[in-house]
Amino acid sequence: MNIPNLITVLRVLLIPIFILLFYLPYHWSYVASASVFAFAAATDWLDGYLARRLEQSTPFGAFLDPVADKLMVAVALVLLVQEHANLWLTLPAAVIIGREIVVSALREWMAELGARAQVAVSSLGKWKTAAQMLALVILLGNPANFNFWVLLGYALLLISAGLTLWSMVQYLRAAWPHLRTDVDPK
């Protein structure tokens, strides 16, 4: 267990804290939950940077880092869908969560074929993640009222969902030759 892995574990442990803060019946609970989420999102960059800088990349970290990210995002989206209960949030949330399931399954399947590198994270994924995290911080930090900040959060989440779909199409195109291969019957 090294520092980058401990930071990743911390990110997972922060999930119940931001859930608890989100549901507290105080006016400051939105900002508090958004702050914990933002801190956790920042640790995603930090653990990767430290793992590379200190040459402490491990198989455990390579496994847990994307799991922690997906857990954080999925939990935040579920909280927000329940709170906002509208199409502007529910549709992009379904797209984002659905894409994560499809791409995770695709990566696992491609790894079994020894072709995992063909569905590696792209630079488009980094833009998607940035828009998504910013949208989630904004939306977690504000009650479900139609104001400038919530509308900005919706817009960023819609952009993120669009980038999510585009990146999924790129992953599927990269994997398509392997998906089309006919199985040789015995």
Can you give the C-alpha Rg of the chain in angstroms? Answer: 18
Q: How does residue 41 score in pLDDT terms, banded at 50, 70 and 90?
A: very high
Give the pLDDT confidence of 102-127 residue by residue, as tens digits: 888 888 887 777 665 555 566 777 88
Backbone angles phi, psi at 122, to 5 degrees: -105, 170
Name the residue with higher pLDDT: 97 or 179.
Answer: 97
Give the pLDDT confidence of 136-145 residue by residue, as tens digits: 999 999 999 9
Tell me the whole-structure pTM to 2 decimals: 0.87
Cα(158)–Cα(168) distance, integer angstroms: 15
Q: What is the distance between the terminal CA atoms of the chain, rounded to a whole angstrom? A: 46
Q: Is 81 helix (H, G, I), strand (E, B) or coil?
A: helix
Q: Is 63 helix (H, G, I), strand (E, B) or coil?
A: helix
Q: What is the mean pLDDT of residues 40-47?
A: 91
Cα(165)–Cα(96) distance, integer angstroms: 8
Mean pLDDT of the chain: 88
Alpha helices in 54-122 (DSSP H): 59-84, 87-112
Give the pLDDT confidence of 144-158 residue by residue, as tens digits: 998 999 999 999 999
